[in-house]
Amino acid sequence: MADYLPHTDDEVAAMLAFLGLSDVDELFAAVPGALRLAGGLDLADGRPEPDVLAHLDALARGNGAADLVCFAGAGAYDHEVPPVVRALAGRSEFVTAYTPYQPEVAQGVLQAIFEYQTMVARLAGLPIANASLYDGASALVEAVNLGTAASGRQAVWVSAGVHPHWRSCVRTFSHGSGHRIVEIPLTGGVTAWPDDAFSATGVMPEPPGVVVVAYPNYLGCLEDLSAVRRLADAHDATMVVAADPVAAGILRSGGEWGADVVVGEGQAFGTPLSFGGPYLGLFCCAAAQVRRLPGRLVGETLDADGRRAYVTTLRTREQDIRREKATSNVCTNQTLMAVTAAVQLGWLGTAGLAEVATRCARGTRYLREAAFKIAGISPLTGRTPVVRELALRTAVPARTVVDRMAAEGFLAGVALADLVGDDGDGSVDADAAVHGLLVAVTERRTAAEIDGYVLALDKAVRR
């Protein structure tokens, strides 16, 4: 490729004249000779840009995963990203935007974030949404921080149905915060809350200040949130729901179930799969907790001329203002991802989001009914209702199934052992970890793709 020369000869001459130097070598005279290259860089001659791009394209085609039909999920999903979302979210006004400290020059970005907050709050069924966090796991950590501050107790009951990576993140932060994490195991794919799980022994964990549940949980199963609300009320604890925002298109919202805080991962709204990021943390809470809300909050007001205007508000809770008195040290947000989600949600609308969630649920049911007819495939969690994801038990190790199906053109799913280890955890035992396969079906998967997947799965477990 041609050399990139950002400065013209006239510009270089003007710089040297301003500095009182004769040439560029004099500019770098202070660099010791031992640190300089003696013979220059041993680089091949440049090649034309089309040739370089063709070479890079050939290297990319060597990555087989790029050509696989994706049935993997486990927190990152292959949803449709309409061209309008890419076109609008990719505009330079948004791409280059950072935290809008000066509202007089950032009304467009502030309004976009305000609209994002409004739509996320509607999804969660709660009145207050912040201007986004880094990802779902960090949003859950912030929810635990808020919940313990609100209840005044440090014990946190976390369902083992919460994504293993999210639970790990909460445990990591608890070492510094002092929160005492109690993981509540699953039975039959759903949480066995202490009234049931500990009745035989009579041993009860420390009363919680926060109760955390996933809806649906990471195995795809729907939890009974009314039982969680009763549990939280019995202990005067904060109820936190880690919700799937796509499933909210057809399920009752966390707020309707009585949640005090709802968090989630917003990657499904307009952000394609891209080697693990960037992601988007959703966070909503009840009005009573607004002064404990982490991160940014954009509000609507009137300017001096009575016109509608947007500003960041309640910033006094943040680290950059209050420091040791702050309820959170989050001082920025995922503006670009939040705007992308707002565009996606605005494009879909209420009916569109419901259609996406319905197509996911129908595709998942179609795959489940076909897969369970295969000898060597059985349900890992029974017949618990699911929306977009389900866990299968395979006769051969799930990692083997994933490898065999890749050769058939399918990204089969995620082996549970890759999430929880070969020995399992409170959500699954060792056998389920080794033989468990987590499969996701989004609205992008066609009936023909699902049929092909089932045939390949049959072949993979029979070999």
Q: Give a yes or no: residue 273 inside a domain.
A: yes
**Quick one: pLDDT at residue 253?**
97
Q: Give a yes or no: residue 3 inside a domain.
A: no
**Quick one: pLDDT at residue 444?**
95
Give the chain's residues under pLDDT 70.
1-5, 64-66, 97-99, 196-203, 315-323, 325
**Quick one: pLDDT at residue 1?**
39
In Å, what is the CA distance from 86 to each residue of 80, 120, 353? 11, 20, 18
**Quick one: pLDDT at residue 5?**
67
Are 47 and 69 in a shared domain? no
**Quick one: pLDDT at residue 327?**
73
**Quick one: pLDDT at residue 319?**
58
Do the beta carbons of residue 243 and residue 215 sit within 8 Å?
A: yes
CATH number at residue 239: 3.40.640.10
Q: How far apart are the first and last CA of the chain?
A: 49
Are 304 and 211 in a shared domain? yes
Q: Which two tokens stand for residue 37?
A: 């290259």
**Quick one: pLDDT at residue 63?**
75
Type of residue numbered 11: E
**Quick one: pLDDT at residue 60?**
82
Are 267 and 373 in a shared domain? no
Q: How many domains does the chain have?
A: 3
Q: Give a yes or no: residue 4 inside a domain.
A: no
Helical H segments across 125-152, by residue range: 136-151
Are 416 and 367 in a shared domain? yes
Q: Which domain holds residue 421?
A: 64-80+350-462
Are 165 and 26 in a shared domain? no
Are 91 and 47 in a shared domain? no
Note the pTM of the prediction, 2 decimals. 0.85
CATH number at residue 417: 3.90.1150.10
Q: Give a yes or no: residue 127 inside a domain.
A: yes
Are 327 and 355 in a shared domain? no
Are 129 and 32 in a shared domain? no
- Choosing from 316, 344, 372, the residue where a domain stops is 344
**Quick one: pLDDT at residue 347?**
95
pLDDT digits (tens, 9 = 90+) for 97-156: 666 777 888 898 899 999 999 999 999 999 999 989 999 999 999 999 999 999 999 999
pLDDT digits (tens, 9 = 90+) for 229-240: 999 999 999 999
Helix-then-strand count for the chain, H and E: 16, 17
**Quick one: pLDDT at residue 2?**
45
Neighbour-count burial for 44-55, b at 16+ CB within 10 Å, e otherwise: eeeeeeeeeeee
Are 37 and 18 in a shared domain? yes
Are 338 and 361 in a shared domain? no
